[in-house]
Amino acid sequence: MTPFVHLYCVVWVALLTGCCTTTGRELPTGQNVVSVAPIEVPDESMYPRFAEPIPNVTVTVGRDALLACVVDNLRGFKVAWVRMDTQTILSIHHNIITQNPRISLSYNDHRSWYLHIKSVQEVDRGWYMCQVNTDPMRSRKGYLQVVVPPSIIDNMTSTDMVVREGSDVTLVCRASGYPEPYVMWRREDGQDFNYNGESVSVVDGETLTITKVSRLHMGAYLCIASNGVPPSISKRIMLMVQFPPMLSIPNQLEGAYIGQDVTLECHTEAYPSSINYWTTDRGDMIISGGKYEAFPMDSGYNKFMMLKIRNITKDDFGFYKCIAKNSLGETDGIIKLDEIPAPPSAFTTTQKTVLDNQTIRKKGNLLLTTAAIPKNTITLTYIILYYRANTVSTNR
């Protein structure tokens, strides 16, 4: 006897012997049971028939599922729900057989029979059969698909990593879910990065292997897992690349005149962050305050070293050294500060203007303009009014 024929017999023995109650227990299916003949109806048209297929149902884990079985012309026949893969009888007509507290039954007009599963779990995934105790037995089946949103398996996924520049690095991201999640990698800032000689924005797969990693790879990477079941999930992994300090100097020769303020500038790159400072050509460390102001400007592993020297004097001309050091090394750069002549001063005098008293009386206040004057010049303006002697004398 096949398992399903045997199960069929067990179901209908229960139906016809009345051994089930609403609080009953699951019937054993592994014992030989003497079957009782199902109800026989001589006229085929009087048999129950399924009005529609049992639709397959997809539900997210943790939610409720509903399977519907619609039977026309049921008459005195009875309906049972059976879990096919485990050969478990769940319900017989109005009675719940299983001891699973998440399963319940409802029906409508002796026609629609609903199997309810609360807080669906992955173990609920599978085939479910609705049976009617005709001879031969009639049944329909439907599939309950339980989907699970993706999640990151932390103990199998990389954490923040620190590596030396030039080495190879592999980041791993493991995810679970149903269907099996698709995993991809990208930079958190959305920038492309060099991946084995190609500039890419996204890398597919659970592993991200970068050969000969450089400081340009430094940053936060996102491992993103998705499987079509919301929500997708991601994990942020920081990749830190260690390298010794490097220096660049925009202007190795600076000029200033006495009395001027000047700012010297060095650019450094280092990880771990470097200790940066300035010295004079005598090797004395420069401390901020008074004449000097040393201040940094940070941008990731890039730093800008700035040294402002106020009110330049003769003693300030010479060489200045910017120094950067970390646990991996040390470097320095030199800037020469030379004296340059102060810009010349320009003296501008307006042309002589000879006016008679008639003009003075007519014009009142006079506005004299000069041509454009070069920058950084001192302008002295003289307004010289001459009166013709004969004119002045006649008006006394």
* pLDDT tens-digit readout, 38-80: 555 556 667 899 999 999 999 999 999 999 999 999 989 999 9
Residue linked to tokens 């109806």:
41
CATH architecture of 153-243: Sandwich (2.60)
Q: Is 118 buried (19+), middle (13-18) or exposed (0-12) by CB count in 10 A?
A: middle
pLDDT given for residue 109 in this prediction:
86
| pLDDT tier at 391, thresholds 50, 70, 90 | very low
3-147: CATH topology is Immunoglobulin-like (2.60.40)
Quick: pLDDT tens for 4-17.
444 444 444 444 44
User: Which carries the bigger pLDDT value, residue 226 or residue 364?
Assistant: 226
Quick one: average pLDDT of 341-361? 52
| pLDDT tier at 302, thresholds 50, 70, 90 | confident
CATH 2.60.40.10 in the chain, residues? Answer: 3-147, 153-243, 249-339
Say whether pLDDT at 365 is over 80: no
* Torsion angles phi and psi, residue 156, rounded to 5: -115, 10
Q: Are 286 and 292 in contact (CB under 8 A)?
A: yes
CATH architecture of 249-339: Sandwich (2.60)
Say whether pLDDT at 227 is over 90: yes
| pLDDT tier at 346, thresholds 50, 70, 90 | very low
pLDDT given for residue 30 in this prediction:
38
Query: Which residues, 6+ apart, have CB-to-CB distance to 328 below 8 Å?
Result: 242, 243, 244, 245, 270, 272
Quick one: average pLDDT of 212-224? 96
